[in-house]
């Protein structure tokens, strides 16, 4: 099991050569190893987040370096690693390190899940050469935010592109370090301590044969100490460490060799009972460590060599024996390795039926379908395809289903997989052969695929088709996926009761186990409520959906819902500081593109409203690869930030994006009118047919200013910032003080309560035009900001969340919050965002 995170500080390993212990059996042997220079280089590279790769041949001490770095790190350490027998298990090395189940389908989601747990700690991964492709793909993204050290045995079987990606990540932020050979004098000292009776000639011979490999030194020296005779190979270690280890293993008893070979075939630590009577000898010779009843080889490569010494008959027999001692999930793989395909098939299918998770079920069934020489039964292939879809693996689903299949169930599964991959037209074509006399479940799936395909290719005809399907399948359809598809069509055309339709479809799909339809329906509900300016409802729905996804470790969906919730809260002008903090923290993570788009929009709008205009613009400009569905939102926030920053010319240009929602279209039109007013230019109305009452009321008020009070009331329960803008416009467009001052005073009050710093400033400037100077809180006389308070507020202004400020300044989160509150008091600011803006003004930034 991986070690628990530790907070215990220890000495800095870069301070100089340190004497460590090489544990062999019961003896603790001092040696200058691992090399201080390599440790120092690794420590230097770990000053900031990045990837450090410790590469080297078997037995060179890579794991020792990893352990040393973990002991020396001043913070939590997460230790894990890959297992040879389970190299196909997605994210296993990372799951062992953080001790939780992790997303196992997408590298960005996996990276975010790991980053959120490791944070400022140290992630250690041993034996990366056995890691699955998903783990390898996620490491560069994790290294952008976390400190990572991995060991990689050379040679290895990683694909060339995987190694290049690791080298690039290490070169960008980190280091690629190769284990140097053990110095001859240190190796000789180690041999003399392990085999005190060895002659100088024997010591020299052992050092030469070891070739600077510490594990070889230990194995050969121990062999000599037990009375063995060194083998003269002429040129030394002609076959490298494998020969050295094989020679040492040859002197073990047969039960010990078998136990060591079993560890090699298992590729993981195992309980002592599995290894039998040979374990005692392995522990006494120092080849295996036994901790709490769990045996692990000191060197995994030693165990591999032991397994390699078996002939084919012995190897198959040992695989069969192990299959009776390990859980069914592993037993199926051991039987497959033994060449017992038929037995492996039966074990995999039986184990899949009892699997607790869709991921385990999919893996076992896919193994059954991929066994050489075994023809999987049609129903097993169907079950494998269905499990793959449930696990979010549409590609695997397509692999196990014949494209030319005439089975209607298989055709529907294939169509669903294509639909999940974003190919609606091929998805519809895949179910063309499914006839109307198919079972009800199959017909529901067929019609779902066709309807969703039509929704993307012919939205106008989708509603009519949905009504036809209701007459066939009933209202509401028993098929949860079809019910969700019909609810989507009704929501798109705003049919009466569409909200209930989406909510009930999501609930029904969840109860039926169709998580894809459930989450998709919930997302559509949030999007549609937001589009109709029902922001409080949308925020509540997104919060509930995010909580449900978190419980199921569905990080992609969870972050999407969280970002949508923050976007709604930013539009409402609710708790600006909290939106900035949470949205900035979310945007700092590894996110799907859509979630990142909404998170950046929320953070930027809240920052701009709070007076942090430069950070808001920088955040928007830094966003790359804007997703199409979030592009209209980001376009409007960019315009709004420009207008708030006194750049109206950048705010009323024609829209550059299509596919917007009614609310965003309306807000863009409102911002354009403000920009035209500030620039003193006329505004071409264009098409103002935005079907939202508060938007229409606001646009009409720009033509008849006496209606701004009505427009402000329409926004009252929806968006505080828009209510303030209406009151501000009413006061600016009135000539007489008697009519202008009351709405300006109300705008000032509401803006101050909400922390809308820029709008508050405009309201006060407008009041001064009527000779009204409001008493405002100013900074306390003689109460200057301290240097640390300035540092903290500068980082707040840069959009850094509390946790990162604490990490950068080396203080606790509580201390960060104390400095922020003190700065707010001294500056007379009501919110942290306002305090940061005032601090920037003071610092001349």
The whole-number pLDDT of residue 105 equals 82
Confidence of residue 244 (pLDDT cuts 50, 70, 90): very low
Peptide linkage before 286 cis (omega within 30 of 0): no
Looking at the DSSP assignment, which residues form a beta bridge with residue 23?
A: 28
Average pLDDT over residues 457-481: 82
Residue 211's pLDDT band (boundaries 50, 70, 90)? low
Rg (CA), the chain: 33
pLDDT tens for 437-451 read: 888 888 888 988 898
Residues 642-694 pLDDT 10s: 888 888 887 766 655 555 778 888 888 889 889 888 888 776 555 455 678 89
Look at strands 294-297 and 20-24 and give their pairing: unpaired
CA separation, residue 764 to residues 261, 744, 749, 836 (Å)? 81, 8, 10, 20
Q: Could you give the residue ranges of the DSSP H alpha helices within 421-514? A: 424-430, 440-457, 459-473, 480-492, 498-511
DSSP state of 611: T
Q: Is the pLDDT of residue 794 over 90?
A: no
Q: Which tokens is 569 given?
A: 């809260």
- DSSP one-letter string for 256-280: HHHHHHHHHHHTS-EEHHHHGGGHH
Question: What is the pLDDT confidence band of residue 282, given thresholds at 50, 70 and 90?
Answer: confident
Question: For 40-44, 203-207, 344-348, 527-531, which range has the lowest pLDDT when averaged over its residues?
Answer: 203-207
| Range of lowest pLDDT (77-86, 227-236, 248-257) | 227-236
pLDDT of 78 > 50? The answer is yes
Q: What does the mean pLDDT of the chain come to?
A: 80
Alpha helices in 716-801 (DSSP H): 720-733, 737-754, 757-768, 787-797
In tens, the pLDDT along 102-123 reads: 988 888 999 999 999 999 999 9
Distance CA 368, CA 841 (A): 67
Q: Could you tell me the end-to-end alpha-carbon distance of the chain, in angstroms, rounded to an integer?
A: 51
More confident residue, 92 or 299: 92
Alpha carbon distances (Å) from 529 to 521, 564, 758: 12, 11, 28
Q: Is the pLDDT of residue 423 over 80?
A: yes
Residue 411 CB contacts under 8 Å (≥ 6 apart), including other chains: 405, 430, 431, 433, 434, 446
How many residues would you count in the chain?
A: 845
In terms of C-beta density within 10 A (0-12 exposed, 13-18 middle, 19 or more buried), how is residue 619 classed?
Answer: buried
Question: Residue 12 has what pLDDT?
Answer: 36
Helices 832-843 & 576-587 angle (0-180, nearest 10): 80
Phi and psi torsions of 44, nearest 5°: -60, -40
Measured CA to CA, the distance from residue 159 to residue 154 in angstroms comes to 13
- Over residues 784-799, mean pLDDT: 74
Q: CA 98 to CA 80: how far, in whole Å?
A: 8
Least confident of 43-47, 91-95, 175-179, 788-792: 788-792
Integer CA distances (angstroms), 359 to 103, 168, 191, 354, 515, in order: 10, 31, 49, 12, 14
Distance CA 664, CA 249 (A): 72
Q: What is the structure's pLDDT at 611?
A: 81
Cβ of 664: how many Cβ atoms within 10 Å? 24
A 10 A CB-CB count for 235 gives 7
Task: Say whether pLDDT at 845 is over 60.
Answer: no
DSSP letter at 709 equals H
What is d(CA 188, CA 221) in angstroms, rounded to the nearest whole number? 10
pLDDT in tens, 581-616: 888 778 767 777 888 889 999 988 988 888 878 888
φ and ψ at residue 455, rounded to 5 degrees: -60, -30
pLDDT of residue 238: 34
CA dihedral of residues 557, 561, 567, 569 (deg, nearest 10)? -160
């Amino acid at each position: 099991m991986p070690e628990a995170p530790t907070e215990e500080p220890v000495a800095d390993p870069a301070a100089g050569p340190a004497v460590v212990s090489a544990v062999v059996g019961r003896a603790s042997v001092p040696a200058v190893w691992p090399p201080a220079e390599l440790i120092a280089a690794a420590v230097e590279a770990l000053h900031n987040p990045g990837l450090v790769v410790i590469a080297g041949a078997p037995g060179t001490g890579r794991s020792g370096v990893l352990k040393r770095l973990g002991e020396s790190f001043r913070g939590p350490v997460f230790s894990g690693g890959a297992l040879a027998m389970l190299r196909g298990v997605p994210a296993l090395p990372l799951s062992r390190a953080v001790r939780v189940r992790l997303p196992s389908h997408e590298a960005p989601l996996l990276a975010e899940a790991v980053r959120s747990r490791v944070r400022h700690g140290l992630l250690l991964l041993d034996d990366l050469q056995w890691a699955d492709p998903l783990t390898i793909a996620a490491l560069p993204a994790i290294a952008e935010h976390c400190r990572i050290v991995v060991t990689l045995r050379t040679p290895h079987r990683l694909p060339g592109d995987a190694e290049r990606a690791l080298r690039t990540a290490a070169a960008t932020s980190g280091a690629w370090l190769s284990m140097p050979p053990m110095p001859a004098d240190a190796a000789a000292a180690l041999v003399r301590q392990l085999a005190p009776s060895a002659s100088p000639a024997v010591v020299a011979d052992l050092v030469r044969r070891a070739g600077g490999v510490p594990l070889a030194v230990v194995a050969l020296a121990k062999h000599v100490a037990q009375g063995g005779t060194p083998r003269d190979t002429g040129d030394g270690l002609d076959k490298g460490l494998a020969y050295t280890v094989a020679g040492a293993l040859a002197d073990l008893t047969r039960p010990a060799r078998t136990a060591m070979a079993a560890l090699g075939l298992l590729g993981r630590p195992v309980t002592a009972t599995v290894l039998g009577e040979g374990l005692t000898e392995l522990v006494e010779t120092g080849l295996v460590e036994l901790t709490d009843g769990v045996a692990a080889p000191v060197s995994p490569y030693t165990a591999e060599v032991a397994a390699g010494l078996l002939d084919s008959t012995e190897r198959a027999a040992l695989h069969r024996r192990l299959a009776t001692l390990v859980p069914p999930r592993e037993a199926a793989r051991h039987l497959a390795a033994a060449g017992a395909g038929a037995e492996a098939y039966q074990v995999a299918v039986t184990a899949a039926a009892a699997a607790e998770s869709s991921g385990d079920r999919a893996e076992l069934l896919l193994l059954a379908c991929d066994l050489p020489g075994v023809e999987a039964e049609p129903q097993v292939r169907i079950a494998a395809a269905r499990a793959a879809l449930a696990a979010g693996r549409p590609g695997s689903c397509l692999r196990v289903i014949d494209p030319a299949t005439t089975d209607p169930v298989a055709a529907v599964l294939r169509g669903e997989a294509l639909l999940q991959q974003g190919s609606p037209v091929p998805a519809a074509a895949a179910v063309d052969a499914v006839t109307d006399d198919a079972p009800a479940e199959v017909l529901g799936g067929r019609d779902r695929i066709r309807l969703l395909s039509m929704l993307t290719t012919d939205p106008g005809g989708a509603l009519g088709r949905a009504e036809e399907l209701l007459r066939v399948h009933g209202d509401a359809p028993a098929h949860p996926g079809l019910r969700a598809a019909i609810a989507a069509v009704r929501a798109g055309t705003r049919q009466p009761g569409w909200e209930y339709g989406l909510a009930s479809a999501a609930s029904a799909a969840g109860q039926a186990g169709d998580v894809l339809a459930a989450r998709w329906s919930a997302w559509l509900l949030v999007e549609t409520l937001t589009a109709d300016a029902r922001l409080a409802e949308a925020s509540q729905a997104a919060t509930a959906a995010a909580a449900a996804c978190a419980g199921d470790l569905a990080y992609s969906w969870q972050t999407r819902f969280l970002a949508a919730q923050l976007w709604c809260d930013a539009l409402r002008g609710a708790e600006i500081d909290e939106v900035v903090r949470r949205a900035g923290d979310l945007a700092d993570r590894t996110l799907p593109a859509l979630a990142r788009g909404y998170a950046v929009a929320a953070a930027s709008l809240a920052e701009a409203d709070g007076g942090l205009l430069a950070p808001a613009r920088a955040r928007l400009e830094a966003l790359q690869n804007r997703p199409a569905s979030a592009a209209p939102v980001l376009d409007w926030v960019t315009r709004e930030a420009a207008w708030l920053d006194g750049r109206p010319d950048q705010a009323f240009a024609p829209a550059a994006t299509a596919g917007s929602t009614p609310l965003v279209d309306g807000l863009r039109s409102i911002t354009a009118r403000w920009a035209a007013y500030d620039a003193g230019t006329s505004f071409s109305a264009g098409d103002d047919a935005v079907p939202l009452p508060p938007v229409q009321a606001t646009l009409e008020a720009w033509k008849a200013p006496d209606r701004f009070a009505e427009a402000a009331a329409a926004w009252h329960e929806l968006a505080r910032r828009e209510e303030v803008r209406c009151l501000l416009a009413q006061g600016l467009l009135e000539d007489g003080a008697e009519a202008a001052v009351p709405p300006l005073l109300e705008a000032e009050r509401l803006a101050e309560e909400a922390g809308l710093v820029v709008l508050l400033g405009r309201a006060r400037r407008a009041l001064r035009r009527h000779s009204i100077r409001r008493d405002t809180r100013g900074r306390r006389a003689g109460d200057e900001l301290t240097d640390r308070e300035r540092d903290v507020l500068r980082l707040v202004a840069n959009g850094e969340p509390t946790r990162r400020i604490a990490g950068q300044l080396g203080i606790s989160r509580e201390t960060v919050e104390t400095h922020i509150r003190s700065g707010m008091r001294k500056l007379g600011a009501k919110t942290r965002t306002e305090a940061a803006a005032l601090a920037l003004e003071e610092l001349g930034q």
